[in-house]
Structure 1
Amino acid sequence: MLPLAVCSVVAIAVIIERFFFFRRLGAIPQAEAILDMIGDSRMDEAADMARKSSMPLIRVMSAGITNRYHSLKAMEAAGVNELAAMQRGLPVLDTIVTLSPLLGLLGTIIGMIDSFQIMALAGMGQPHAVTGGVAEALIATATGISVAVIALIPYNYFLARIEREIAMIEHYATRLEMALVLPDKE
């Protein structure tokens, strides 16, 4: 049960940290404002606004504005860094989702072994000693499955949120690249 308690504490810590991380995302108005500034040939103002932001989308756009002549590669490199930042902690959550039921089953098996040893020593004359041990052993399985379920729902939510964020970054990076190329053709 102790490893399951550790897993649940770690899972809750990761879930809370990732919740606050994803809650602060939402840079669409800033992205639109930056694109408008570039459309109005206010590159310095757009670069300044992008540089000050801590949002992943805006940081990717900032890399494209800063490296205007190699914007695609700069945004790809920045995008890789931002993706890594968004995924931070998720492998731990994934491991807890997989490991918790197994730890629960291990606890149940150990408890069952103890129950059978009691039965071997005491004989069949004390069924309460055996059934109490079996019930106690099954608590470990229930706890392991509970920890996994509690971690699985936020884990899947965070994965879906990352996918949406990546799609938004790709959309605005493409729009920024087009906006940076258009003034050169005029």
Structure 2
Amino acid sequence: MNMQLLHELAFYLMYACAALAIFVIVERGLFFGYTMRQATGLEKAMTHAVQHVKELPAPLTARPSLPLELVSDILSEKHHLTSEKDLEDFSESVYIAKRGEVQQRLWILDTIVTAAPLLGLLGTILGIIDTFKALASSGVSDPGQVSAGIGTALYATALGIGIAVVGMFFFNLFQERIERINDHLKVLMLRACVGRTEQQAASQQSHGKLHVA
């Protein structure tokens, strides 16, 4: 078995993990920043008087966003629901669905944080094995070559730990952002549910009177 080839393969896998982690960090960072701005803006604009998405400020509805989708779904459906219980159940289901979308692709970063140190350790072991095999076949003629081989092998562990540390930092940072965004989504859900129109109340009262009659 070619240990040198396996050692290089472990490095290539770690480089791929690093590139994938950078992509996820940049993509999720932009997504969380934009979603947070939209959520805070909609939270300020969502008053009891807002009953339709078209009543919101144009800058907040010009581009699609996760908070806007949540508010739009609730506002468009709440006028067709006949009871507060139905509205509560529907809004809760919309909130759960949108909350799940916030956590997309974070499992990739979590997997890289776990796998990178293991790949680095594997690369170190394979590098040390390859160094000892070379020494066994040619003998120890130059101690510097042994040190160079061991140093190259240990570089794999350092690279794996470095990738894991950076990934863990951003993973924990994103978890904090997710909690804040979910809090804003919860507030938007509650504000979108309140402020039922007078026509709805009158319709429900007349419907109740007819049912009693």
TM-score class, shorter-chain normalisation, is 0.7 to 0.9
Distance 1:74 1:166, change over 3 A: same
Identity level (%): 31
Partner of 2:183: 167
Within the candidate set 1, 10, 13, 1:3 is matched to 13
Give the C-alpha shift of residue 126 in structure 1: 3.1
Partner of 2:156: 140
Q: Distance in 1 between matches of 2:145 and 2:131?
A: 8
Partner of 1:55: 65
Tell me, yes or no, if the aligned pair for 1:34 and 1:49 is still in contact at 8 Å. Answer: no
Cα-to-partner distance string for 1:139-182 (whole Å, 9 max, x where unaligned) = 10111111111222111111111111111211232233333389
Give the secondary structure class of the aligned counterpart of 2:191.
Answer: helix
Tell me, yes or no, if the aligned pair for 2:70 and 2:94 is still in contact at 8 Å. Answer: yes
Could you tell me which runs of 5 or more consecutive residues in structure 2 were left unpaired when the two chains were aligned: 1-10, 206-213
> How many residues are matched?
180
Which stretch shifts more, 46-55 or 138-147? 46-55
Tell me, yes or no, if the aligned pair for 1:11 and 1:93 is still in contact at 8 Å. Answer: yes
Distance 1:62 1:72, change over 3 A: farther
Q: Distance in 2 between matches of 1:54 and 1:74?
A: 21
Q: What's the RMSD between the two structures over aligned residues? A: 2.5
Give the secondary structure class of the aligned counterpart of 2:64.
Answer: coil
Within the candidate set 42, 47, 72, 1:30 is matched to 42
Give the secondary structure class of the aligned counterpart of 1:22.
Answer: helix
Give the C-alpha shift of residue 93 in structure 1: 0.8
Rg larger in structure: 2
Cα-to-partner distance string for 1:20-41 (whole Å, 9 max, x where unaligned) = 1112122223233232433xxx
